[in-house]
Chain A
Amino acid sequence: MSQSPAEPHIQVRDLSLAFDRELILTNLNFEIKQGDIFIIMGGSGSGKSTLMKALIGLKEPRTGTILYQGLDFWQSESWKRERLLRRVGVLYQGGALWSSMTLAENVALPLEQFYSLARTRVPELVSLKLSLVGLAGFEEYYPAEISGGMRKRAGLARAIALDPDILFFDEPSAGLDPVSAKHLDDLILEIKKGLGTTIVVVSHELASIFAIGTNSVFLDAESKTVLASGNPEEMLHTTKEPKVQAFLTRGGTIED
């Protein structure tokens, strides 16, 4: 390991995000520690996905800084940013697999782009990643030929293709039945334990939030900032914010 676990993986300082003139989020301050499963939660329209886009380099913030292990992400030269992004894996909502390529080609593309590996090594690595997500034997399938849940897992295989230090998940349970969603959560935990990656999840699925989250921020659409942060379980018991309470208890229908 190249740094001590004490150093935060990502630090966000005074971040604000905006579309044109409309301010989405402002005054964001939080830390994502090494090995955390960090949940970004909040109601619809609270800017969860926008925050994730800023963290993975798709949306430039209005003001503030995002530090990746001490490196200012948005102020760095583009080549530094690109090198840093190779250490980042992202699982998009629908899997975002390239539809004209087979699953094997999807997973192989980043490996072939960034490393000059021996010809025989790539298929080995691809098979490993696909078997880790339970898709061994599906190498030659096209994304259109498999189910939505499988596409998501294939997206995960592609996200871990380069053994990233940090993995981002955008609504991992969206569009999955409860059993598949649980399986995906288990898989996320299993891969986290094995690979030791930091994980950031954008979600509003309570079951998933409590099952996997070790730390979190709660975003609020009205005040446009973080209303609460910390371990979701503890947050449920300690928060005084009515909005956070309502969110975590489905408007008071879950007794805990």
Chain B
Amino acid sequence: MLMSKSTVSRQDPGKLSLEQKHGQTLTLVLSGTWSFALELPTAEAVRPEIAAGDRQPQKIAFDCSRLTGWDSGLLTFLIKIRDQCEQSRVKLDTSGLPPEANRLLSLAATNSRAPVIEKKASRSIFFNLGQQTIRLGYSTVSFTSFLGETLLAFLALFRGRIRFRGQEFFRLLRECGDQALPIVSLISLLVGLILAFVGAVQLKTFGAQIYVADLVGIAMVREMGAIMTGIIMAGRTGAAFAAHLGTMNVNEEIDALRTMSISPVEFLVLPRLLVLVLMMPLLCLYADLLGILGGGIVGVGMLDISPARYLAQTQGAVALPNLWLGLIKSVAFGIIVALAGCYRGLTSGRSASAVGMAATSAVVTAIVAIITVDGLFAVLCDIIGI
């Protein structure tokens, strides 16, 4: 019988003694408590007795009259004895065992004959390389077709052929709009402050503190405003898109749309894309202003420039093309974030962990693409001289 583990420590650990009866039968006398939590005799002690030789018995039997308790510890011992008997072709008489132990012993024996399915073997590096290459080919095709589908949906929108749910659209607008303001405010203000600090230390040595305004203004408006909002939105909204669409994929909601011949791209991707295209320039403009404010705080507080002077200097430095450039970039980044999030979500696997991976890869894809596209913009601007 099994016993409560709390009482085990106070009981005698199991003991084993051997009795050779009539020269033919070896009886294993089990006494005490055979619990795996205690120190137990090992089956190795019996091995020499069972192994072939002059004294090899014909039969192994058990005497459990002094057994006070047992659990899996006894079973693992018995299984080993059984294996030894099979190896040495000695008969095993289990009638002396507790009936419950006997039952479990035969359960373990019948079940262990279940066929083992083949485990996937690890492949060579060339196999993996080839497979990755093929996969890259497939994912290029699938991304291109996703892009094409999105473009067609966009065109259909202008021909007035698409209606998506207004309520959903406004919920998304808010999610990517005013709900993003706190974090955009914090990050842009800090970026402005940091830029001003770095610039101030250098410019002070030349007595050219006033140019901190130029530095912060141009850097924020041309580059940092768009990049920082892009990265924030990739982490915040892109990941949310991927997680949401991925979860819909897991729940077969996307399949449900498809079987009703509602295109998931038109119904899910398009509103998300539009929302980001609308909201990103606004957020970027807001980030520019807060960045300049952050620079102003350093300029006024640390460098003793008057607020009016700082503002005038900024206005003089930041030409209008800079502002347009930043805003155009932010639209491009918005498209990147929306496409990366939606694509990863729609193509995610159908498990909870796959949704997590989709969200992660959406963010990584979006950030890499944002930085790369920003680099392209820099080269282009250099060529056309903005």
**A interacts with B:** yes
The chain B residue with its CB closest to the CB of A2 is B4
Chain A residue contacts of B100, Cβ below 8 A: 193-196
Flag whether B205 is at the interface (Cβ < 8 A). Answer: no
Chain B contributes a number of interface residues (CB within 8 A of A) equal to 31
Asked if A205 is at the interface of the complex by the 8 Å CB criterion, the answer is: no
Chain B 78-90 near chain A by CB (<8 Å), digits 1 or 0: 0110000000000
Asked whether B107 is an interface residue with its Cβ less than 8 Å from the other chain, the reply is yes
User: Judging by beta carbons under 8 Å apart, are B104 and A132 in contact?
Assistant: yes
Contacts of B353 in A (CB 8 A): 99
B141 within 8 A of A: no
Partner among B7, B72, B75, B79 whose Cβ is within 8 Å of the Cβ of A2: B7
> How far apart sit A141 and B119, CA to CA, in the bound complex (Å)?
8
When distances are taken between beta carbons in the complex, the residues of chain B under 8 Å from A196 are 1-2, 100
- Given A140-B119, A145-B119, are A117 and B36 also a contact pair (CB < 8 Å)? yes
The answer to whether B104 and A194 have CB atoms under 8 Å apart is yes
Q: B71, B76, B79: which has the most chain A beta carbons within 10 Å?
A: B76
Kindly state the separation between the CA atoms of A32 and B319 in the bound complex, as whole angstroms: 81
Which residues of the other chain, A, contact B36 by a CB distance below 8 angstroms?
115, 117, 121, 125, 163
Q: Could you say which residues of chain A place their CB within 8 Å of the CB of B1? A: 1, 196
Interface residues of A in 109-142 (CB under 8 A from B): 115, 117, 121, 124-125, 127-129, 131-138, 140-141
- Residue A14 CB within 8 A of the other chain: no
Interface SS, B side: helix
Contact present for A129 and B111 (CB under 8 Å) = no
Question: Which of these, B4, B72, B75, B79, contacts A87 with CB under 8 Å?
Answer: B4
Nearest Cβ on chain A to B1's Cβ, whole angstroms: 5
Min CB distance, B349 to chain A, in Å?
11
Nearest residue, chain B, Cβ from A196: B2
Given contacts A117-B36, A145-B119, A194-B103, whether A128 and B5 have CB atoms under 8 Å apart is no
B72 CB contact (under 8 Å) in A1, A86, A128: A128
Task: Answer whether residue B116 sits at the interface, using C-beta atoms and an 8 A cutoff.
Answer: yes
- Is residue A240 within 8 Å, beta carbon to beta carbon, of the partner chain? no
Residues of B within 8 A of A1 (CB): 1-3
A199 CB, min distance to chain B CBs, angstroms: 14
B10 smallest CB distance to A (angstroms): 11
Give the chain A neighbours of B117 by CB distance below 8 A.
146
Interface residues of B in 270-284 (CB under 8 A from A): none
Bound complex: CA A71 to CA B116 (Å): 44
Which are the 6 A-B pairs with shortest beta-carbon distances? A134-B111, A194-B104, A136-B112, A137-B116, A2-B4, A124-B76
Residues of B within 8 A of A (CB): 1-7, 36-37, 71-73, 75-76, 79-80, 100-101, 103-104, 107-109, 111-112, 114, 116-117, 119-120, 353
Q: Could you name 12 residue pairs across A and B whose Cβ atoms are closer than 8 Å?
A: A1-B3, A2-B6, A2-B7, A125-B72, A133-B111, A134-B111, A134-B112, A135-B114, A136-B108, A137-B112, A194-B103, A194-B104
